[in-house]
Structure 1
């Protein structure tokens, strides 16, 4: 096996591990949100329940964790494809890394300044996305090119603008009506 092939295989393995970690974290949070479960172990203060029940935890009927699950699932699919079979996989991972890192930055600022609660699962997801972003920036020369940097800056800027708009809509929305998500308590 050539050095280039070993490099791509180890990079694909790293992206796969990051994606599976993110799927685990967001999958668990999604389950907790839909079932209003009590399986969250958050440490002192129980910040996870506060975060998941905040008005910022959903967009309409869908919890944000569902979007995170979709993002990590997309990263997994792109990581598993060989760059030879899917030449734009690296660019796709760069776009997803920018989307995820940008939106996670927004969510972490919400946790710190608006919700004022600590959720270790949310922090773990943000760290996984930051690691994916740094991995892409360091290992992919097309991400460091002027075109790649402009693309990354554009994606993060659009995410920031969209997040601010979402924040304003959520802030001015009437309080949410509790939903059972089709699950009836007994």
Structure 2
């Protein structure tokens, strides 16, 4: 009876997996802070962003461009929502036992989508708008770190 219970219980995460999980959580909290700030700026357009304004960097130009909204929804809100979804998946991974084995794959796919969209947004800043938003670039870099760690987790778990 006891051996049967051991077989049904999911394997405990490895030390490396725990470190990668913790890394993703920390980076995700930073991404939530940045996307929260960008969402705040969209919600209160009278607030001036804490951003240098010169020929290369201009948050106002980027945040108010035609590319800053998708189907009427500011992409800052979409970024914040995506980060909340990722955090929810990570919490569910540790709380819902039946989800433990699927969560890293779910995190990977959400991070993959976010990474691809982030690459597109960097392209838009560089070639369509002609200005960069340091806050946006910071968020895109954080998403790249999350995506890289999500790939690493899948590779070390044998899922990839």
Alignment coverage as a number of residue pairs: 145
Whole-angstrom distance in 1 between the partners of 2:121 and 2:157: 24
Q: Which has the higher contact order (CA 8 A, sep 6+)?
A: 2
TM-align CA RMSD = 2.4
2:117 aligns with one of 91, 99, 103: 103
Secondary structure of 1:97 counterpart = helix
Q: Which runs of 5+ in 2 are unaligned?
A: 1-11
Give deviations 1:73-98, integer Å, cap 9, x for gaps: 11111222328722211011110111
CA distance 1:142–1:8, shift in 2 (3 Å):
closer
User: Structure 1: any 5+ residue segments left out of the alignment?
Assistant: 149-186
Displaced runs of 4 or more, over 4 A = 142-145
Match of 2:152 among 122, 127, 138: 138
Give the TM-score, by structure 2 length: 0.80
Q: Does the 8 Å CA contact 1:15/1:76 hold for their aligned counterparts?
A: no
- Structure 1-normalised TM-score? 0.70
Distance 1:143 1:9, change over 3 A: closer
Of the three residues 116, 125, 128, the one matched with 2:139 is 125
* CA shift for structure 1 position 107: 0.5
